[in-house]
A and B are shown apart, each in its own frame.
Chain A
Amino acid sequence: MTREQVRKAVLDIISDIAPDEDLSTIKDDENLRDQFDLDSMDFLDIVMELRKRFNLEVPEKDYQELVSMASSVAYLFPRLKDYELVS
């Protein structure tokens, strides 16, 4: 996956979890919780979806890496770069 694909994957997951949020306004460097109505259960959902969709385990100690879009991509890209998306 490319960086852009990783970013889109995270965005897709968030839009599934929080369908009422307008994600087009997202600022990658800002805290997700400050921009959208997301709580700790939503972050748990992101972790479960990453496992389901990309076979990726985010250990509890790394949950903080998902705080913003930029930090999520920085954390996830090295772990997903070898993952081949089925086209």
Chain B
Amino acid sequence: MAKDWLKGIKSAYDTIVIGSGLAGLTAANKLAKLGHKVLILEHHYNMGGLATWFKRKGGHILDISLHGFPTGMIKTCRKYWTQEIADSIVRLKNIRFDNPQFSFWTNFDKNDFTRLMCEQFGVVKETIDDFFKTVRAMNFYDDLSMTTRDLFEKFFPGRTDVHRMLMEPITYANGSTLDDPAITYGIVFANFMDKGVFTFKGGTNELIKKMKKELLKNGVDIRTHCMVDRVVVDDKKTVRGVEVQGRMIPSTTVLSNSNLLSTIHKLTGDEHFTPEFLAEVKKVRLNDSSCQVYIGLKRGEKIDNVGDLLFTSQENEFSSESLLEPETTSRTFSFYYPETRPGSKMYSIVASTNARFKDWAHLTRQEYENKKSQLIERTLDALEKYVPDVRKKIGHLEASTPQTFKRYTTHPGGASFGTKFEGLAISKDLPKQIGGLFHAGSVGIIMSGWLGAANYGVIVANEVDKLLHSMRETKPELETASV
């Protein structure tokens, strides 16, 4: 008989969290600390969602999305996780840009960007200060009609080099473009390109291990290998629980950390939503996907420090569209030196490009494999400029495509940055459609990335707690539906 991955779970929960990305995990931990009974169901064998890693023979550990996050993550980890986790966050100081318009190193904070814009681009300091002040003051409720392109043109008209420096890192971080609302840029930029970029010492595997320990300590039940089939909704449009592996698990609330559109269409079912809501859902655009090339150096091989994060491109100017082309030369290299994982002597390099799912769909097996090999070759060609003879040092080499992202995350289109801005309102309105149904995950550009996702988990946990609290008050002995 197949293994029962659900063995030992309780008969009912206050909240079932579907998926264990950083939003789901952080929400689960917060809710457990507030005294609720929480179950996490994850389809994969690892937790973390896109905050993940994989191991390969020869001692290689490859991180998928540990490229660097904003300083705010320290506070978020301290408040919603542990001091120990917060203390493992360290700054990355060697960020590099290299493209036909400019080439320099930066420590990625406001002072250094100001210096670079003065020295390299000859922009007057007042304009730069004014720009920083404007983006810092932007908030969620501001005008949406101004695009990031408009914002750049207002401060740095015609300066495609300045636009590129300001936009490229953000595009890699959250898939946004010059045509997205300027406020999404402002909110992310103010967090990100202000006080430097940070990483987690010990790597993603260590972070998730520590988070798991904390969840268990707080009484959260965790079950991996459990693909949820559907969210059970009654005729009063209220959540009853979830169905998984042929079993119904009752729960007062369900918090889906699955992709927003999958949550609505696949897990819940259109029949439970109003036509007006579905019409709005239809307008939600998924963000793009990614390709990655994972390079593990042979044991004993070394490379010099050529930077922690390198934004490289051979395009003459920045364009959101060309960044998505299968043959793009615009990519990020994340270099992981042995210091990343104290005690290890291994080096690894991960190259990431933004990508469209459709360019990798509908290929024959052979075409797909060929295209992947070409991606790897192009990546190594580009890398040789910074790490000469890197080919001779490689012990492990493989690539992922939007198909891979789709397979491991179950996101439609392999979306690796959630949805565009309009997805946030839909995510927030879900409980108004179905009582007790919540969504937290990468949405709306601003609730994306490690910090955005973790914080959105807390924002939604507050809503779940509010509901559970009010139900306890009105019905002190709330009955739980029997199996």
- Name A's B-contacting residues (CB within 8 A): 17, 39, 41, 44-45, 47-48, 51-52, 55, 57
Contact = CB atoms under 8 A, between A and B. Distances in A.
A44 B464 CA distance: 13
B79 A52 contact: no
B469 A41 contact: no
**Chain A contact residues: helix, strand, loop or mixed:** helix
Which 4 interchain pairs have the tightest Cβ spacing? Answer: A48-B462, A41-B455, A44-B462, A51-B469
8 contacts: A17-B79, A41-B75, A41-B455, A44-B458, A44-B459, A48-B462, A51-B469, A55-B469
B34 interface: yes
A51 B30 CA distance: 14
A52 B458 contact: no
B161 interface: no
A50 to B, nearest CB: 11
Contact of B465 (A39, A41, A51): A51
Contacts of A45: 79
A31 to B, nearest CB: 15
A39 B79 CA distance: 13
Given A51-B465, A51-B469, A57-B469, A41 B34 contact: no
Interface of B: 30, 34-35, 72, 75-76, 79, 455, 458-459, 462, 465-466, 469-470, 473
Given A44-B462, A48-B30, 4 more contacts: A41-B79, A44-B458, A48-B465, A51-B465
Nearest to A59: B466
B462 A47 contact: yes
Contacts of B473: 55
B139 to A, nearest CB: 9
B34 A48 contact: yes
Given A48-B34, A52-B34, A57-B470, A41 B462 contact: no
A41 B466 contact: no
Contact of B466 (A17, A39, A51): A51
A45 to B, nearest CB: 7
Nearest to B455: A41
Contacts of A39: 72
A44 B465 CA distance: 12
B466 A57 contact: yes
A57 B459 CA distance: 15
Given A48-B465, A52-B34, A41 B458 contact: yes
Nearest to A16: B79
A41 B76 contact: yes
Contacts of A48: 30, 34, 462, 465
Contacts of B462: 44, 47-48
Nearest to B35: A52
B188 to A, nearest CB: 15
Nearest to B34: A52
A48 B468 CA distance: 12
A17 to B, nearest CB: 7
Nearest to B83: A19
B86 to A, nearest CB: 11
B190 to A, nearest CB: 11
B437 to A, nearest CB: 19
A45 B473 CA distance: 21
